[in-house]
Amino acid sequence: MAKLWLIIFFFIGNILIFSQDNKRYPPSIDVNTVTWKPYNQPTKEPSSYLKYFTEDCVNVIRIGDQKAFGETGQQVGHNYATNAVWNSDGSLLKLNVKPAKILYDSNYTVAYTRNLPSWSCWSYTNPYIMYGTQNGNQFVSYNVTNDKRTVLHTFHNYTKLSIGKGEGRQDRSDTLICLVAEDQNDVGHLIVYNIKTNTVIATKNIGDSSDLDWASVSPLGNYVIAAWHKNGTGKKEGYRIFNSNLTNEKHLYTETQHSDIGIDVNGDEVLVAIGNKTVWKTNHYIAMIRLKDGLLKPLFYDEPTKPRGIWGGWVSCQNTKRDGWAYISEDRASDDVMANEIFAIKLDYSNNNIVQRFGKHHSDKHNSKNAYYHGARACVNPDGTKICFDSNYGDSVLKTWEHAPAWIMEYPQE
């Protein structure tokens, strides 16, 4: 009997542990089974600063505000889909204000007001550290709690230094990072730097770097990706891939679109990009390219008789504690597409088209003061349950702001 109770206790204990660790997400569905409804663009924001409302079964709250931040420059949104908004444990998040506002995740009030280093990005292993650059050629770590900067390395041969031109970041172990530098003759260089050992692993002369969109180390540190503005298969076209020591350069994918680097369901590193001509030919709208062998897997198949494809938008793979999914924010709204949707798509190799629909961002870029900064550019939190996005909700006042304010979309966990 004692043995039986021990087995029952162990079984119940495991259920409780599983329940504590389990997270709730929207239902997983095939995109071709969705019954689409007409889309109506709102004309007024549905709630004020730090006031929740509920839509599409998710809770939404505005976390950016000019008056509360004392912000005259009107920058009250987040940075970008691929630049993590949340820190590594999800307890803090940063907005693109100058000086920056670091918010508590628990209630979205301001925890710190800080002047961050240039090109700042969160550490993946220490929730209070960011990495960035300063004084042109210094790579630094920065502690948000005590406002302290530590110079990790000065790159004396260069005059300008960025973390992948703003869309790069270090690997998930905070070991390797790809920096883009320019020397005194304005010649561009890729630099792979080991943060832990304070050593330069490799450098590569890329000549004029003005056509380089971004460069980054992959999440597991196995590769470096360079994305060029021009489509094609040439040396400065499309996506190029290197080993982490900048050797074995290869063509990876032809068409450079908004993209991010994530992990598929098998644990392999993949580039996930908004589709273009290559995948459109097969009635798909998202491209997934496996880094280890260049395998292209088109995602988001849509029935050719009723195209509801994704024609623009952004990708975020910052869900570092929920691999196997990429988060997409659509750019255009109409009755016959994923109208203003933010959704997750499963990074697998079947034909199931599995998505999880979180909600709509409702941002209207048309006739906004600065159309670029009124795009959603949604970024996901580490466990994939919350999404930060910018939106004016079609509101005539918010559309006059230089930057649409940031909002949080939360999928209920109870």
Residue 146 domain-assigned (yes or no): yes
For residues 393 and 167, give the distance between their C-alpha atoms in angstroms, rounded to a whole number: 26
Identify which has the larger pLDDT, 340 or 85.
85
Say what the pTM is: 0.93
Whether 75 and 88 share a structural domain: no
| CATH number of the domain where residue 225 is located | 2.130.10.10
Q: Which of 71-80, 132-141, 264-273 has the lowest mean pLDDT?
A: 71-80
CB contact at 8 A, 187 and 170:
no
Tens of pLDDT, residue by residue over 245-269, are 999 999 999 999 999 999 999 999 9
Whether 292 and 392 share a structural domain: yes
CB contact at 8 A, 358 and 384:
no
The residue-averaged pLDDT of 185-189 equals 96
Residue 248 domain-assigned (yes or no): yes
Residue 309 domain-assigned (yes or no): yes
Whether 151 and 194 share a structural domain: yes
Give phi and psi for 336, each to the nearest 5: -120, 25
Whether 36 and 131 share a structural domain: no
For residues 187 and 197, give the distance between their C-alpha atoms in angstroms, rounded to a whole number: 27
pLDDT band of residue 9 (cuts 50, 70, 90) is very low
Q: What's the number of domains the chain is made of?
A: 2
Residue 38 domain-assigned (yes or no): yes
CA 315 to chain centre: 6
CB neighbour class for 5 (10 Å; exposed up to 12, middle 13-18, buried from 19): exposed
Whether 88 and 69 share a structural domain: no
Whether 210 and 291 share a structural domain: no
Residue 139 domain-assigned (yes or no): yes
pLDDT given at position 195: 98
Identify which has the larger pLDDT, 42 or 204.
204
CB contact at 8 A, 391 and 68:
no
Tens of pLDDT, residue by residue over 291-346, are 999 999 999 998 777 667 787 899 999 999 999 999 999 876 555 556 678 999 99
Residue 16 domain-assigned (yes or no): no
Query: Of 257, 276, 308, which residue constitutes the final position of a domain?
Result: 257
For residues 84 and 131, give the distance between their C-alpha atoms in angstroms, rounded to a whole number: 12
Whether 100 and 73 share a structural domain: no
Whether 132 and 237 share a structural domain: yes
Residue 18 domain-assigned (yes or no): no
Residue 409 domain-assigned (yes or no): yes
Give just the sign of the alpha carbon dihedral 249, 325, 196, 157.
Answer: positive
CB contact at 8 A, 242 and 274:
no
Query: Of 257, 275, 303, which residue constitutes the final position of a domain?
Result: 257
Whether 52 and 106 share a structural domain: no
Whether 76 and 148 share a structural domain: no
CA-closest candidate to residue 169, choices 291, 275, 257, 85: 85
Whether 306 and 235 share a structural domain: no
Query: Of 195, 222, 257, which residue constitutes the final position of a domain?
Result: 257
Whether 244 and 297 share a structural domain: no
Residue 395 token pair: 């509101």
The domain of 123 spans 84-257
Q: Over 60: is that where the pLDDT of 19 sits?
A: no
For residues 54 and 42, give the distance between their C-alpha atoms in angstroms, rounded to a whole number: 15
